Amino acid sequence: MRSIVLKFLYVIAKLQYPSYQKDLCYYVRDNYYSRINQYRYLTRDFIFKKRYKTIEYHGEFQQELTFILPFAYWHHLNKTLDKTIGCINTKEFYFFSPDHEERFDKREWTYNYNTYEIPNMTHSPTFSFRKWAPVPFKKHYRNDLFVYDKPILIIANKYNIEWDQQPLNYLDLPTLDRIISRYKQRYQIIYNRPSSDQIISDNSKILDLKEHQWLKETHPEVLLMCDLYAEYRKHVSSFNHLQLMVYANSCHFVSVHGGTAALASYFGGTNVIYSRSGIEHDFDEFNKLFPALSGARILVAKSQEELLQHLKSAY
């Protein structure tokens, strides 16, 4: 029965979006089915409203931030969330959960395929916000520990294999140099690029950009998140906990495509995202979804020059 319905929904998707390639229509189809699947829980979610929902996830980090966490938080607000299950060091992301289990030590990007248990299960040109509520990370994690004489500007970078190819969406050293040189007098810049031993990777090998030592020598004013982790280890339970606390005290972000950009979009203010390529552009997610995570102003650049222009207008 499911296969028949999926085939029918694929035809609907193709008719609705005739310009989309075949693979994009599969994304649309899957989201249609996942939303229809929610009718199974109509009485439990809107009539009985007792704690019953267990949400398990160890897929891609970006989708956890944009789809899973808001779904879980909605169930929390609806008083129907019973338990969440995720990866190691995700407890602070699910601070609202009555019972969070850290079960998995790696992420699998195909994990949520064929489950259809989340209304927005994957990328899409449209989103259902009926069972979707952004998690108030800024309000919950704002603190007096990471406060400086100047406002914080966070540069959140990554450098890893993307779609089985060499790194594409990342800030290289010349670009970092231009950004830091321009803004370090005005902001306390904190640079963040987690290593493989600090976060659970998304099955994409993290490579070495060799920028940390370069930053210490060229721009010693810049604080490194990895150094903050060593300095404040007694105050945080994990690197993710540190990120949430530092980000909560900032309204200024420069980030790159992926989970890095999604996390930086959770804290209001302005997030300038460097994204050369990705399905998010096909579905216009940076305009439709990312601002909804906190009301943040999202500016997207596909080139380094466009990135610098956005920074100039925003900061």
pLDDT per residue as tens digits for the range 3-39: 999 999 999 999 999 999 999 999 999 999 999 999 9
pLDDT for the residue numbered 204: 73
Task: Give the total residue count for the chain.
Answer: 315
This prediction has a pTM of 0.95
Q: What's the chain's average pLDDT? A: 95
Q: What is the pLDDT of residues 228-254, one digit of tens each?
A: 999 999 999 999 999 999 999 999 999
232 Cβ neighbours under 8 A, 6+ residues apart: 145, 242
Mean pLDDT of 152-169: 88
Mean pLDDT of 210-230: 97
pLDDT for the residue numbered 203: 63
Residue 160 is classified by DSSP as B
How confident is residue 195, by pLDDT bands cut at 50, 70 and 90?
confident
Other beta carbons within 10 Å of 87: 20
More confidently predicted of 207 and 186: 186
The alpha carbon of residue 239 and the mean position of all alpha carbons in its chain are separated, in whole angstroms, by 15
- Percent of the chain predicted with pLDDT > 70: 98
How confident is residue 118, by pLDDT bands cut at 50, 70 and 90?
very high
For residue 72, pLDDT beyond 80? yes
In 3D space, the residue among 243, 239, 240, 241 whose CA is nearest the CA of residue 253 turns out to be 243
2-10 long-range contacts, Cβ below 8 Å, gap at least 24?
Answer: 2/33, 5/33, 5/36, 6/30, 6/33, 9/33
Mean pLDDT of 111-126: 90
Residue 172 is classified by DSSP as -
For residue 197, pLDDT beyond 90? no
Measured CA to CA, the distance from residue 265 to residue 181 in angstroms comes to 24
pLDDT for the residue numbered 248: 98
Q: 214: left (phi > 0), else alpha (psi -120 to 50), else beta? A: alpha
CA dist 15 → 22, 254, 276 (Å): 12, 38, 29
Run of H or E residues at 253: strand 252-256
- The CA dihedral of 220, 224, 228, 230, to the nearest 10 degrees, is -100
Measured CA to CA, the distance from residue 243 to residue 230 in angstroms comes to 13
Coil, helix or strand at residue 61: helix
pLDDT for the residue numbered 198: 79
pLDDT for the residue numbered 250: 98
Mean pLDDT of 102-109: 91
How confident is residue 206, by pLDDT bands cut at 50, 70 and 90?
confident
pLDDT for the residue numbered 75: 98
List the structure tokens of 300: 């997207």
